[in-house]
Structures are given as structure tokens and as C-alpha cells.
Amino acid sequence: MRTSTAASDPVRIVDSTLRDGSHALSHQFTEGQVRAVVHALDAAGVPAIEVSHGDGLGGSSFNYGFGLEDEIGLVAAAVQEASRAEIAVRLVPGVSTIEDLRAAHEVGAGVARIATYCTEADVSVQHFRAAADLGMRAVGFLMFAHHASPRALARQARIMVDSGAECVYVADSAGALALATVQERVAALVREIGADAEVGFHGHQNLSLGVANSVLAYHTGARWIDGALCSLGAGAGNASIEVLVPVFERLGVPTGVDGAAVLAAAADVVAPMVQRAQAGPGAGLPAGQSGGFSSFLRHAQRAANRYDIPVHEIMHRVGEAGYVGGQEDVIIDVALRILDERDAVGTVRSNR
């Protein structure tokens, strides 16, 4: 394929291996691993690296899984290791607090990535103000973007921009958007906030469309694109950074990132850390289809083992019941209901 020779706008690649990717390792990154990943990404020229519990600062909990190490210590290590890259942290109002943001800022985090469910942007106003007060860059994230119409999503993006966001992401948390549905949403955001802020896209691999969706998002006006080494991330993982970079290069879009270096970082640094294979599209597909949250998968697997129920039955039920990201606690409840129903069926049968 030949591409236009006209100079294209550069794309800002943001790495989420050490945040979204920590879902794949059940939030067990060590300080040594964080240092090695940041060192490699920084050397490759990736301009921003996100480090936090997978569910955001303060996510270490029974509900989401406890992190192995203190995450502020991990942020501090990342800051020390980075010579050029900015270190970003993830803030999810309702889980993370302004206190958490202050602690991260104190050890040198420069970017606050503030995420809400796609219809609830107004809960983040106080967090954007806090980021501005601390002198941090602030970026908004509208999660589960497939659950809102393009117009509704754009209105929510406006709330974040008015609160101080310099960029707002269409976050395809469930990996449920496919091509045109990405473009409609990115276009709506560009129309609404384009004069005041940039637009980003965060893609998941549940339908194997993470990279393709990211490229279409760029062509529709998104200028910040997320990825992760080895596709590490919740569910079927994120768009791979080591694929995004050469694809953008082939399309003549400057990334400022060394493609060979990120490929080496994926193969030599991250691949050996991955205890089990990233759940491929097969395992993540139910989330993409039902629009359930990718991060539910590992918790559903645990409940499936504990209560001896097929994992797909739990995931299906969770999607059907309309639970949203963050409600990992319902998985046990759903498993208990499935057991109850089985018992009830058993009773009816034995009464015959």
C-alpha cells in the first residue's frame, strides 16, 4: 500500500504496560521489573509511561486484587529510571483519591490520567482541579466508551475539558468497538473538544482490532494512542506497542519511537515476565461480545475454580446483568446464584 507523501501529524504513543498490563500479572509487578520496563521504553523514545495498579491508584484491594508492592514506591522507581519519558498515574474517582494523587506527585509523577465510566464524567471535576493545583498535566478517560452514543460521549468529554483535561480518550475498555464505531466516537469528540483539547484512543484486543482501531482513530483525528508491550492488559490485552509503532511508521505517521527498540523491549524484557500467556482473543471474546469488562476475566476464573462453575457461564451472567467496570465483587455473588439455581433444579428433579 502506498501512502501519501504529505507530512502527517505526529502521534503520541503512551505505554500502559505497567498499569493496564498489570491485570495480566494480577498486579504482581516487582520494582525490578518496573525499572527494567521503564528503562527500555524510555530508551526507545516512548514519551509517556503509565504506572499504577491496574484499576488505578488505590486499586490494591480484596475487590481488585492486592498489588505485590506499594504502588507509590513503583511510581518513584519509574521516575528515577526515566530520563526523558513522563511518568503518568491512573486515577479512578471512587477508587483513587486526591491523597493518592498527591503521593504520586510527590515522588515525581507528572501526568494524571483520570478515568470515569463513560456517562459519569462529572465525578472527576474535583480530581482535575487537584491535578491542576499540583501542576500536573491532566488527561481524561471515558471508559466503556461503547456504552455511550457518540453524541453522549462528546458531552461527557466536554465536562472533562472544562475541568482542565488537555486530552480526552475514547477508552474501549471491553474491546467491543469495531472500526466504524471507533471512528464515530473519535469524530464526535474532535467536533466537540477539538478546538480546546486533543483526543486519544485506548484499544483492547478482544476482537483482535486493537491496532486497526487505533489507526482508524488516528485518521479520524485522535493524536494520543495507548498501547502495551506484548499486548499486556486486561482481558485479551491492549494494542501492542511493538506493532503500533511500525504500523504508524509504514503509514508515514511520525511516532518519535524506535521501532526496533520497542520490539526488543517486548521480546527481551516483558515476554520473560509473563507467567502465563496473555489471554488471547478466544478467552477475551465473551467480554468483547457482551461488552463485559475485560478486567473481570481473571476474577471470574478464580470464582469458577472456587465454586466449580464454568468461567463462560459467570462472564455471560455478569454481562447480562449490566454490571459495569469496577464491580468485581459481584462475581462471587453471581457464582453463588448459579449454584443456588442448580440446587433448585436438583430439588425439583429429585422430587419427581
Partner 1 sequence: MAVMSRASVAVVGPGNVGTDLLVKLLRSEHLDLRYVVGVDPASDGFSLARESGVATSAEGVDWLLSRADLPELVFDATSAAAHLVNAPRYAEAGVRVVDLTPAAAGPFVCPAVNLDRHASAPNLSLISCGGQAAVPMVRAVSRVAPVIYAEVVTCVASRSVGPGARANIDEFTATTARALESVGGAGRGKAIVILNPVEPPVVMRDTVFCAIPADSDQGEITSSILRAVAEVRRYAPGYALRAEPQFDGPRPEWRGLARVAVFLVVRGRGDYLPPYAGNLDIMTGAAVRVAESLVRERVGAL
For residues 308 to 337, the per-residue mask of contacts with partner 1, x marking binding by CB under 8 A and - elsewhere, is: --------------xxxxxxxxx-xx--x-
Q: Does 301 bind partner 1 (CB under 8 A)?
A: no
Shortest Å, Cβ 140 to partner 1 = 15
Interface pick for partner 1 out of 98, 132, 178, 251 (rule CB under 8 A): 98
Cβ-based nearer residue to partner 1, 68 or 212: 68
Shortest Å, Cβ 295 to partner 1 = 13
Shortest Å, Cβ 133 to partner 1 = 13
Cβ-based nearer residue to partner 1, 124 or 206: 124
Cβ-based nearer residue to partner 1, 60 or 255: 60
Q: Does 62 bind partner 1 (CB under 8 A)?
A: yes
Cβ-based nearer residue to partner 1, 62 or 350: 62
Interface pick for partner 1 out of 97, 181, 290, 301 (rule CB under 8 A): 97
Is 23 part of the annotated catalytic residue set?
Answer: yes
Q: Does 99 bind partner 1 (CB under 8 A)?
A: yes
Three-class HEC string of the chain:
CCCCCCCCCCCEEEEEEECHHHHCCCCCCCHHHHHHHHHHHHHHCCCEEEECCCCCCCCCECCCECCCCCHHHHHHHHHHHCCCCEEEEEECECCECHHHHHHHHHCCCCEEEEEEECCCHHHHHHHHHHHHHCCCEEEEEEECHHHCCHHHHHHHHHHHHHHCCCEEEEECCCCCCCCHHHHHHHHHHHHHHCCCCEEEEECECCCCCHHHHHHHHHHCCCCEEEEEHHHCCCCCCECEHHHHHHHHHHCCCCCCCCHHHHHHHHHHHHHHHCCCCCCCHHHHHHHHHHCCCCCHHHHHHHHHHHHCCCHHHHHHHHHHCCCCCCCCCHHHHHHHHHHHHHHHHHHHHHHC
Interface pick for partner 1 out of 61, 208, 290, 301 (rule CB under 8 A): 61
By the criterion CB under 8 A, which residues form the site for partner 1?
Answer: 58, 61-63, 65-66, 68, 93-95, 97-99, 117, 119-120, 122-123, 125-127, 147, 306, 322-330, 332-333, 336
Residues noted as catalytic = 23
